[in-house]
Structure 1
């Protein structure tokens, strides 16, 4: 077996480098968690943090230097090292030589919780969830202990307050501190290209449910935080804080607050509209909370599913909420939640850059079951794993709506094309179906894309058998998997035996099976693939005439400005992403260092009592955004120029084809075809259709005698839960479960 070389390094050396990087990441992560564990204690605030301030504070960074060092730097360093580790993965593909020890990690994907508010939860997800809940409980209990132990009647009376009022003040502060902990993790699940999620074997699609629940928790805590303070201010007569003006010598005056007595020579300060020059700004916190509440209400399932665009519009208020949160607590304390938001900001801006390109749509295939296959031109250097996700936008239907779809094509079988399948089920997809199925279909579609986003690399070769269970349009992730296995089988590699259990409502839906092969067919021999298809039609007891209708194929005219689908950061995207994260952070540190050293420090001298908090926070936030824009834009432009140069070289060396040049008018056609190639006939020979009944999944899965069976399910929630329950049973130790879910 040949060893893969990178700059003269053998495969084993690259593997050892990966292990070293992962161990380093683990050490940094444990240190970061230790900071969170110690933060609610007096040891941290009275001993650790002052010592860190002495060493980290300087004329360049001030007090925020310590917060950047202990909260922001570790996670960004983990993300950068993770990008390097993921980049090396493509040179260490030893899926066929996995040891039994490596296979033990597969059990971490096994379901452990089947039903509940979080749906199906794997051991990996449960481990992360338990660690977070333990940290949350510990933080609450430690804060309560530290805050309440010194509250007595004597201490309360000295402040002119009752004991319960002092405790309420402490509880309000506690809720804000714990809410900030949850806010620190809020953006990790929705960072689609996150190296941190990828390192632990998770994807944004599978963890978006945690973003939802974290959002509920954050806004619950922050709302309670605000209400407690309002009650406290109202009860202690601080809602309208009265200042009595006392004359002193030399015509000077002293402001003395009186909470319960009003004086004639006094003025009032509305506490809820207080915007302090130094310290906490109440008004900014209220704006942040109100914008968060608007997002919270419109993100509820009842509102989101019926008024999606309202949900989409209002969810952009996260920009307002985060900005005013920073103005509320100051930039130094905001560094605690900065890492997750920083990575999300980079990911979001890269998505914006990619979405500005118009993508070349080559053809479409419209099935009798109202499913549509869209075939895009693709950069040959773009690689992705089976069951990847791509988001698309069509301005002719909706300028703002982005919808995720599974990529059904395969890198090896379709090197120049990328395909997705859309089932006409909602208003958006129905409008697209009408455009493509009308007697005079549209000439072209103006499409933008984000992605594709690949799941963690899953080696299907480590299983002796694969059971693919799908419901309706849930078959789409399995199309790319089957195409991948067709290619591997044609290269004489040993592939697992495959059983596809496809459940449909109507007979017309059986035409979804035609999508198992590309529109142009394939030259790869599928005779080496051990494939069996069991199709179940639940509502029709006999074949209907709809299933006998012909497939409609449409070639579309591309525009000169259309481009193939390509990776936003080129073929070495993980390496470039690590460079963007590190370079943008360095630029950010340089900008705030120069600002503080030459502008703020001469005024403030690190006293934090002269220069306004709001101005400093606003400038630092602008610098953060500018740093991300500079680094990401330069990386994007460099890779875009490289892609265009490579495309021109390919076009110069190859003869013109419909894929590489505009399609002439004579090539565009709208015909109905019936795919009856040898390959399709081979598929029909291995397909058995059962009408009027559902599959007995318990029987199908338990009959497999192989010692290592991979069970993949994609379909309704009930189907996923049933299969997960069977696979987690003590009687089915040979079944390894994995699901695809796009419902949230």
Structure 2
């Protein structure tokens, strides 16, 4: 047993070291790219060695840029999972809560941008002389303005190369550094703002340059070869509209506007491709390529309708949706899913934290939805006013961490505000399962939750699953302190939790991983096989279609047509390989799905579609009694977090905070104050 564990650990270490080495080489490549030595000596030799009738000039970029990052992603599928130091370094400021690890990587990335721009600009300026400017019929300052504008665009391309990696939900790269797509969304935001600032400056400087050289007509040019200026301006226009709607005020108050306008990224990328050409885009292609695979797999998963078993309606305008899932689907606490309800909106998808536990509830996946925005209000109205006998729901996911970083602490403090309690329900259910099996020691758990009204206290009932699979939680060292901030005392008996049951349909599917239980290995196969298929099709197209036209006529083959053909080949390769893997996985789960449908079919005497679950009257059961004894309710007060956290004496305490930004910031400040070295903070932002 020990030998197998040591082998597994060694494989994981080798994978991470190899991935780190390749990534370091990738970064070094970006560092040397603007130098004169690379431009004048190494790049010509690389192009001469890789330029062929099959891959053309883009062969160099495909080899050194695209293949390296795709190789890292394949390595990440072999053995994902890592953890890094997350102690807060910055708490206040526009970046939010930033750990020391994040700060270190941020500093290195800023240093890379500074190096790249300064070296590229100085190398370019050194070649600008009065004679060279005169040859181009321009002044020296105009030549330098042209050069600066171009280098700003190149700097934006560097950021664009990383932009889509954080939002690739089933990413195999992020787990290598202990991240999830949800946890790294802020990196996408930082990169997105940086990209738009740089490309906007790039465009503005070129407008100034064209105006100064009396060549504003260039703005309407769509060149057959080289850069198409009009395509670049259209890309910038779509990017600016997208950028304007990502501002926090717009996103929070007009989510629909943000959601729909964000789909303009498709047009932004399309016209960016037509602006720079496929040969140059291959430098930024890896992140976009992996995102395209992920997006197509999500499209395939979202086409089906999942089996919604029941919904629990709580008095505090909270809903718990329970879906039938494949028994082979395993996920960790803090995972999330994206939910679409066509009866509310056919286009909108909203993320929710998974509150169930795959060990404790092998046949059910649950999410908790608080009535806050317009979408959730409509959903609550559909279920509460005249509940249907069936509700169509589509689902993407689950996505989440590949390991439980919180499980190694001696003590856990879970601090939540409002609906922020949702991720902690899954954590507590995980430890309920572990305490029942006795396979491993469980930490002391202290849940501190704040609610506005006493009706929201019913969310504590969700700590126990609807399935009734829990018989005893007395072994779990759980303490709950609930604070009701807007009421001075109990408001009377709360309404009972109402449970709705829904009819199944033969076409309903179980919630399962998009590529089945071997999701990572199949993802590696899709990445590798699609890229190989793309290279084969590209070689055939270049050798037998584009190359003859380029060399047997007086005209160079259109860059726009070549870019669109390359895009078509990429889409075809991804669609063919991903669809094959998806259908193969789906066929394996078809038999299991039919068995579950039969098992969950309502009895002939049951009320069709909707009823009240008998578990609602079982509140005096042993688990419920244990939970009540472990819970203290405080009215008209807020928790004194500083006094409590600094008073903890355990040596290794994990502190998880989920809820309003101000609360998370206060907890982070306490943990990073230097007075509590035993506290290890992790922020649960869930800010999609």
Asked if Structure 1 and Structure 2 have the same fold, meaning a TM-score greater than 0.5 normalized by the shorter chain, the answer is yes
Q: CA deviation at 1:514?
A: 0.4
Alpha-carbon distance in 1 for matches of 2:554, 2:441: 67
Alpha-carbon distance in 2 for matches of 1:133, 1:481: 36
- Residue of 113, 116, 134 corresponding to 2:111: 134
- Residue of 596, 611, 632 corresponding to 1:670: 611
CA RMSD of aligned residues (A): 2.0
* Cross-structure match for 2:432: 486
Whether the aligned pair in 2 keeps the contact of 1:62 and 1:606 (CA below 8 Å) is no
Whether the aligned pair in 1 keeps the contact of 2:277 and 2:563 (CA below 8 Å) is yes
- Residue of 22, 25, 34 corresponding to 1:28: 22
> Do structure 1's residue 125 and structure 2's residue 102 form an aligned pair?
yes
Equivalences for 1:721-732 in 2 at 5 Å?
A: 721-732=665-676
Equivalences for 1:465-614 in 2 at 5 Å?
A: 465-492=411-438, 493-545=440-492, 548-605=494-551, 610-614=556-560
Pair 15,606 (structure 1): closer, same or farther in 2 beyond 3 Å: farther
Q: CA deviation at 1:428?
A: 1.2
Equivalences for 1:304-343 in 2 at 5 Å?
A: 304-343=251-290
- Residue of 573, 579, 585 corresponding to 1:627: 573
Alpha-carbon distance in 2 for matches of 1:15, 1:26: 16
Whether the aligned pair in 1 keeps the contact of 2:309 and 2:502 (CA below 8 Å) is yes
Alpha-carbon distance in 2 for matches of 1:665, 1:208: 45
The range that moved more, 26-35 or 204-213, is 204-213
Count residues in correspondence.
684
Pair 524,454 (structure 1): closer, same or farther in 2 beyond 3 Å: farther
Q: CA deviation at 1:49?
A: 0.9
Whether the aligned pair in 2 keeps the contact of 1:379 and 1:416 (CA below 8 Å) is yes
Whether the aligned pair in 2 keeps the contact of 1:59 and 1:606 (CA below 8 Å) is no
Q: Specify every segment of 5 or more residues in structure 1 that has no aligned partner in the other structure, as ranges.
A: 4-8, 90-101, 240-269
Alpha-carbon distance in 2 for matches of 1:719, 1:599: 61
Q: CA deviation at 1:168?
A: 0.9
Moved over 4 A (4+): 605-609, 660-665
- Residue of 273, 285, 290 corresponding to 2:237: 290
Alpha-carbon distance in 2 for matches of 1:308, 1:530: 41
Q: CA deviation at 1:691?
A: 0.8
Pair 288,460 (structure 1): closer, same or farther in 2 beyond 3 Å: closer
Equivalences for 1:57-456 in 2 at 5 Å?
A: 57-86=51-80, 108-239=85-216, 270-438=217-385, 440-456=386-402
Whether the aligned pair in 2 keeps the contact of 1:558 and 1:663 (CA below 8 Å) is no
Q: CA deviation at 1:170?
A: 0.9
Alpha-carbon distance in 2 for matches of 1:664, 1:130: 66
Question: Equivalent residue of 1:287, what SS?
Answer: helix
Q: CA deviation at 1:225?
A: 1.3
Pair 578,418 (structure 1): closer, same or farther in 2 beyond 3 Å: same
Residues 527-560 of structure 1 deviation map (CA, whole Å, 9 limit, x = unaligned): 1111111111111010012x52211111111222
Equivalences for 1:452-467 in 2 at 5 Å?
A: 452-467=398-413
Alpha-carbon distance in 2 for matches of 1:740, 1:608: 61
* Cross-structure match for 1:253: none
Q: CA deviation at 1:665?
A: 4.8
Pair 461,224 (structure 1): closer, same or farther in 2 beyond 3 Å: closer
Alpha-carbon distance in 1 for matches of 2:552, 2:59: 11
Question: Equivalent residue of 1:499, what SS?
Answer: strand
Alpha-carbon distance in 2 for matches of 1:549, 1:630: 52
The range that moved more, 11-20 or 72-81, is 11-20
Q: CA deviation at 1:364?
A: 0.9
* Cross-structure match for 1:13: 7
* Cross-structure match for 2:628: 684
- TM-score, normalised to structure 1, is 0.89
Q: Specify every segment of 5 or more residues in structure 2 that has no aligned partner in the other structure, as ranges.
A: none
Alpha-carbon distance in 2 for matches of 1:608, 1:565: 57
Alpha-carbon distance in 2 for matches of 1:480, 1:52: 52
Alpha-carbon distance in 2 for matches of 1:144, 1:58: 31
Q: CA deviation at 1:416?
A: 0.4
Pair 187,228 (structure 1): closer, same or farther in 2 beyond 3 Å: same
* Cross-structure match for 1:251: none
Whether the aligned pair in 1 keeps the contact of 2:307 and 2:323 (CA below 8 Å) is yes
Whether the aligned pair in 2 keeps the contact of 1:558 and 1:662 (CA below 8 Å) is no
Alpha-carbon distance in 1 for matches of 2:12, 2:602: 42
Whether the aligned pair in 2 keeps the contact of 1:557 and 1:662 (CA below 8 Å) is no
- Residue of 657, 676, 688 corresponding to 2:599: 657
Residues 5-27 of structure 1 deviation map (CA, whole Å, 9 limit, x = unaligned): xxxx9332232222212111111
Residues 578-627 of structure 1 deviation map (CA, whole Å, 9 limit, x = unaligned): 11111110000001011111122223259997222111111011101111
Q: CA deviation at 1:501?
A: 0.5
Alpha-carbon distance in 1 for matches of 2:497, 2:635: 22
Pair 314,651 (structure 1): closer, same or farther in 2 beyond 3 Å: closer
Whether the aligned pair in 1 keeps the contact of 2:471 and 2:622 (CA below 8 Å) is no
Alpha-carbon distance in 1 for matches of 2:537, 2:603: 46
Whether the aligned pair in 2 keeps the contact of 1:504 and 1:538 (CA below 8 Å) is yes
Question: Equivalent residue of 1:503, what SS?
Answer: strand
Question: Equivalent residue of 1:452, what SS?
Answer: strand
Q: CA deviation at 1:164?
A: 1.3
- TM-score, normalised to structure 2, is 0.96
Pair 442,140 (structure 1): closer, same or farther in 2 beyond 3 Å: same
